[in-house]
């Protein structure tokens, strides 16, 4: 009887290290079938989860029902588990270099409680080679054990899309890998307990790591192309969305749209790949160019907004702008690496007074992360421009009259980053990417 069978019979336990947007859904999915220990270093988050509350506001309380799971912030509790999944963030530092601090810390924690026969599977997005070159040495150092001989390691990249209620843990094919044939089989069958869509068995850990990082890199490069086209079409004086609509009538035209590229995946993962490429002596020109374009879009939006206010005789020193939405995407509370902040900072560089509203963002988190104070409610008749930065559900139901009511006068400017209100605005100045 291998570890998979022991887990299924609840003679062994699975641990999930890191209970954020990725880790918690995975932990709860497993907990409906096997015994799980959910570990997070934040006691306050753990306390909420013990009450059946998702601190990230992604999961309904019903998701906790029928789950055989123990939440803890005590690393010693992990000793009771034999199959460890690590799902901690892999951010970048201010110079766009990989920050492996959380991953190394989690590996240190797991290494200290690691036992002969245990499995460790990483889900964090990393560059090819990271698991074996950076994580395994930590596990071996802290445990005094040898990978392959005493314990097994695998990699299975997360594919969770925050806010997506259709493509979930259970419905997305899971790429899995292991350090040898035995571990690959055990890891694949373990994930198949919860992933109805099945698994794809990669030939190596490096292949699995690379498969994940290019998913987001591909999207990043494609969005960068559309963003650059948007800048060109703005100078031409035509609508990007009208151009895309026309081009989209061809069967093989890819349906990408312009926009701000932030969040914890698409705006970060390509930097892990380009860093690795640099280490290998190759400068990734296309990927880096895409990153430059996308990282510049917030500044571009800010400048374009000010430009249109100036065209209407607005003095930036006396102007007030409303930014609607701060999270990195619609209908989520996640503010990590949101590029809306770049828009706000650029407006402030022109001495524009900026109000920011968001129905999902947590004010305390916004203040802590960016030093910004959210405005509780927009002020009627107060703004010289309104920027719909994130298409949250309450904003999608607004119309021209709603926006006019927010403007100081009839010279107000509506900036619609996602083109949500294209062809719906007739008596106001309207601009979109």
Q: Which region, left, alpha or beta, applies to residue 129 given φ > 0 means left and ψ of -120 to 50 means alpha? A: left
Q: For the chain, percent helix, then strand, then coil, each to nearest 5?
A: 40, 15, 45
What number of H helices and E strands is found in the chain? 15, 13
Q: What is the number of other CB atoms lying within 10 angstroms of the CB of residue 106? A: 25
Q: Structure tokens of 308?
A: 């249109």
- In the DSSP assignment, the letter for residue 85 is E
Task: Compute the distance between CA of residue 212 and CA of residue 123 in angstroms, rounded to an integer.
Answer: 10
What's the CA angle centered on 274, arms 258 and 290, to 5 degrees?
Answer: 20
CB atoms within 10 A of CB 367: 12
Please report the DSSP string for 196-242 in residue order.
TT-EEE-SSHHHHHHHHHHHHHHHHHHHHHHHHHHHHHHHHT--HHH
Task: Provide the 8-state DSSP code for 80.
Answer: G
Radius of gyration of the chain (CA): 24
Rounded Cα gap, residues 84 and 113, in angstroms:
10
Sign of CA dihedral 258, 338, 135, 46: negative
Structure tokens of 269?
């993962």
Which token pair is 419? 């083109």
Q: How far is CA 204 from the centre of its chain?
A: 25
Residue 312 CA to chain centroid, in angstroms? 38
CA pair distance 381, 86, nearest whole angstrom: 50
User: Is 67 one of the annotated active-site residues of the chain?
Assistant: no
CA nearest 87: which of 33, 144, 12, 29? Answer: 29
- Spatial separation of the C-alpha atoms in residues 399 and 419, rounded to whole Å: 13
Element (H, E) at 269: helix 269-279
Give the residue ranges of DSSP H helices in 144-203: 181-191
User: Taking Cα atoms as reference points, which of 189, 217, 213, 219 lies closest to residue 201?
Assistant: 189
* Active site positions, annotated: 265
């Amino acid at each position: 009887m291998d570890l998979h069978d022991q887990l299924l019979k609840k003679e062994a336990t699975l641990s999930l290290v890191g209970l954020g947007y990725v880790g918690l859904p995975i932990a709860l999915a497993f907990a409906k079938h096997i015994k799980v220990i959910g570990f997070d270093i934040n006691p306050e988050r753990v306390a909420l989860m013990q009450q059946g509350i998702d601190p990230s506001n992604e999961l309904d309380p019903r998701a906790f029902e029928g789950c055989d799971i123990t939440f803890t912030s005590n690393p010693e509790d992990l000793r009771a588990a034999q199959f460890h999944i690590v799902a901690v963030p892999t951010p970048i530092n201010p110079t766009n270099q990989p920050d492996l601090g959380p991953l190394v810390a989690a590996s240190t924690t797991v290494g200290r409680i690691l036992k002969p026969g245990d499995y460790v599977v990483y889900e964090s997005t990393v560059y090819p080679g990271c698991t074996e070159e950076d994580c395994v040495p930590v596990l071996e150092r802290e445990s005094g054990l040898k990978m392959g001989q005493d314990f097994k390691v695998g990699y299975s990249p997360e594919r969770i899309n925050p806010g997506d209620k259709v493509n979930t843990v259970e419905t997305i094919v899971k790429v899995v890998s292991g350090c040898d044939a035995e571990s690959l089989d055990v890891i694949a069958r373990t994930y198949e307990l919860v992933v109805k869509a099945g698994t794809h068995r990669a030939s190596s850990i490096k292949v699995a790591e690379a498969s994940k990082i290019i998913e987001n890199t591909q999207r990043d490069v494609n969005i960068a192309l559309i963003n650059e086209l948007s800048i060109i079409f703005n100078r031409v004086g035509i609508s990007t969305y009208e151009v895309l609509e026309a081009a989209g009538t061809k069967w093989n035209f890819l349906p990408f749209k312009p926009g701000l590229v932030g969040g914890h995946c698409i705006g970060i993962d390509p930097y892990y790949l380009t860093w690795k490429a640099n280490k290998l002596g190759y400068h990734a020109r296309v990927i880096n160019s895409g990153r430059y374009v996308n990282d510049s879009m917030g500044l571009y939006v800010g400048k374009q907004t000010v430009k249109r206010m100036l065209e209407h005789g607005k003095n930036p020193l006396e102007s007030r702008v409303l930014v609607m939405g701060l999270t990195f995407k619609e209908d989520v509370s996640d503010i990590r690496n949101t590029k809306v902040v770049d828009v706000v900072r650029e407006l402030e560089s022109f001495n524009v007074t900026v109000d920011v509203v968001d129905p999902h963002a947590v004010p305390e988190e916004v203040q802590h992360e960016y030093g910004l104070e959210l405005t509780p409610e927009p002020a009627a008749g107060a703004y010289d421009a309104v920027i719909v930065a994130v298409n949250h559900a309450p904003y999608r139901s607004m119309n021209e009259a709603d926006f006019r009511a927010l403007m100081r006068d009839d010279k107000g400017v509506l900036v619609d980053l996602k083109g949500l209100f294209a062809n719906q605005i007739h008596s106001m100045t309207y601009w979109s990417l």
